[in-house]
Amino acid sequence: METSTVAAPPLAVETIGLTKRYPLTWKRKVLVALDGLNLQVKQGEVFGLLGPNGSGKSTTLKLLLGLIVATEGEARVFGLPPESLEARRRVGFLPENPYFYAFLNGDETLRFYGKLCGVTGDKLDKRIEELIDLVGLQNGRERPLRSYSKGMLQRIGLAQALIHDPDLLFLDEPTAGVDPLGSAQIRDLILKLKKMGKTVVFSSHLLEQVQEVADRVAIFSLGKKVLEGSLESLLTENQSTQVLIPAEMNPEQQERLRKFIGQTGVNESEIRFTRPHLSLEQLYLRTVQAQPDFVSKDSPRP
């Protein structure tokens, strides 16, 4: 009998012991920007990178894009070295606070990046139309980028990242400096990309937003990944059981319930009636501040 084995698709992102150190020659010290990162992102996932400034998020993205070279460890994008052209053909990137070429207008910007990716002719014209519609920049096509607002720059940035229809998107603080409406639009766009089967890896400080779009998150602190998992598992408190009763309970009802549960062997005095809700923000702060050498400032670390 013939058996056929179907090879699992390669991981969108995989890092093994990825480390980046910068020697500070004058101070005779070494700055550890990223320390032994092991990370796996499956295809089609939306993965959030969280952490304070200088925690290693942007370094991770730069290493995954092959923009900088790892001191130790290995990174793979769809099983390929990140610096290879094959990997980059499948990757789109939006840097933090992107500026782009201020002398180009929206249309010219997309045309430039499209051509660099080998998209030309009618295909490029069609793609530009689609992306202008997708990011809602109809009024910015003919305007030079120097006259763009922050939100518009972010949107043209997303459009250029998508110009060659990549399978994986790296977004570094995609909502930084964008107003709530623009921020919501970017969130919707990420959800739309997820529906299209794209993999999205993004960093953000807006925790509520991360909670709304990410399947899994990793929290970084001082160059180390300190927590990773699905939002579902991370946001669940395992030491207690929550019984959701979709009704307001008066004290008498609460007392009767307490006695009833007490009959099952649970200490009645430990039963509390609250509305427990752990937000991602709480989790984030608790995790970061729990680090023994946590310092609450953005200064570079030795």
Partner 1 sequence: MISSLHRILIIARNTLTEAVRQKVLNVLLIFGLVLICSSVTVSQLATPDIDAAGLFSEQIKFVKDFGCGAIGLFGFFIALLSTALLIPQELDKRTIYTILAKPVRRAEFLLGKFVGVVLLLALSVALMSLAFAATLYWQESVGLAAVEANYAQMDLKHTPTAQSMHDHDAAQIIKQVRDPQLVEAVLLIFAKIVMTAAIGLLISTFATSWIFTIITTFMIYLIGHGESLARTFWLSHGAETTIWQSGLIGLIALLIPDMNSFTIVDEILAGNRVPWHDVLNLLCYANVYVIVLLAVSVVIFDYREI
Binding mask 160-179 for partner 1 (x = CB under 8 A): xx--x-----x---------
Distances (CA, A) of 56 to 139, 260, 285: 37, 50, 16
- Residues near 70 by beta carbon (within 8 Å), at least 6 away in sequence: 18, 19, 20, 63
Q: Which parts of the chain fold into alpha helices (H)?
A: 57-64, 85-89, 106-116, 121-135, 150-162, 180-195, 207-213, 231-234, 251-262, 280-289
* Residue 112 binds to partner 1 (criterion: CB under 8 A): yes
Contact segment (CB under 8 A) with partner 1 among 101-109, 127-135, 193-201, 203-211 equals 101-109
* Residue 116 binds to partner 1 (criterion: CB under 8 A): yes
SS3 label, residue 134: helix
Binding mask 29-68 for partner 1 (x = CB under 8 A): ---------------------------------x--xxxx
Q: Residue 61 carries which side chain, given as an amino acid letter?
A: L
Distance CA 198, CA 214 (A): 13
Judged by CB under 8 A, which of 95, 106, 140, 174 binds partner 1? Answer: 95
State which of positions 5-24 bind partner 1 (CB under 8 A): 22
* Residue 103 binds to partner 1 (criterion: CB under 8 A): yes
Contact segment (CB under 8 A) with partner 1 among 82-90, 128-136, 173-181, 270-278 equals 82-90
* Residue 223 binds to partner 1 (criterion: CB under 8 A): no
Which pair of tokens denotes residue 137?
């920049």
Q: Cβ atoms within 10 A of the Cβ of 245, count? A: 10
CB of 15 to partner 1, least distance (A): 17
* Residue 101 binds to partner 1 (criterion: CB under 8 A): yes
Contact segment (CB under 8 A) with partner 1 among 36-44, 85-93, 204-212, 224-232 equals 85-93
Distance CA 80, CA 169 (A): 15
Distance CA 208, CA 295 (A): 24
76 vs 88, beta carbon nearer partner 1: 88
CB of 65 to partner 1, least distance (A): 5
Sheet (strand 13-24) strand order: 29-41, 13-24, 72-77
> Using CB under 8 A as the criterion, which residues of the chain lie in contact with partner 1 when the complex forms?
22, 62, 65-69, 85, 88-89, 91-93, 95-101, 103-104, 112-113, 115-118, 157, 160-161, 164, 170
